Amino acid sequence: MLAAGDDIDLKSYEPAMRHLIDNYISAEDSRKISVFGDLTLVELIVDRGVEFVKELPANLRKDKEAVAETIENNVRRLIVEERPTNPRYYEKMSVLLEEVIRQRKAAAISYEEHLKRIAEIAKRVKKPETTSEYPVGIDTRAQRALYDNLGKDEDLTISLDKKIKEEAPSDWRGNTIKKRLVLSLIKECIADEELAQEILLLVDKQGEY
């Protein structure tokens, strides 16, 4: 336990949360904020769940609206950042988040229930593999992205994933000719031109290929 006036390590907190702490913590507050290394706020929520809130200073915890909005904004930002890697999945996560926010603003759910639901969404956003939405054979990030954006067609996902991994030329990103070859591989599995182009953009975002 720190004595009044002791320093609190804020380097681990997202800028918005650090701003809140700067504004709400008093010199008399002797509660120590744990040091979490380089984890982001969303990672802390995934790691600690709703218990994370208990680590905040008492003065800050009292402003439930500020805490809720900060957490929501951080989860929303992560969804936006991750969306190109799996548009369908993160669009769904965005809808879930906005619904929880709507319920909070309408006072349709308690603060505690709001935190619980936000923590669940944060986990699904950060770790899609922890959900039960995917068949046993769909077990990599790239496969999940293909599966979600190919109408959840497991056979098509597995065959396209295999073809790209086995036949795509090395270092194809940034090389127009090689990229066309990858598109040709995709078209061998997908006849629709527009969908094939969309999947090429998706494949380009997957580090596995």
CA distances (Å), origin 76, targets 46, 60, 80, 118: 14, 21, 6, 11
Gyration radius of the chain's alpha carbons: 22
pLDDT of residue 20: 53
pLDDT in tens, 15-48: 555 555 555 444 333 333 344 456 677 888 888 8
Closest to 83 measured CA to CA, from 203, 191, 204, 202: 202
79 and 86 in contact (C-beta within 8 Å)?
no
How does residue 131 score in pLDDT terms, banded at 50, 70 and 90?
A: confident
CA distances from 16 to 67, 153, 175, 208 (A): 10, 40, 40, 33
Identify the burial level of 74 via C-beta atoms within 10 angstroms of its C-beta, where 0-12 means exposed, 13-18 middle and 19 or more buried. Answer: buried
H/E stretch holding 124 reads: helix 111-126
Domain extents in the chain:
15-130, 141-204
> Token digits for 139?
């077990």
Mean pLDDT of 180-196: 97
Per-position b or e across 46-69, b if 16+ CB within 10 A of its CB: bebebebbeebbebbeeeeebbbb
What are the pLDDT digits (tens) for 48-86?
A: 888 888 776 677 778 888 888 888 998 999 999 999 999
Answer whether 0.85 is exceeded by the pTM: no
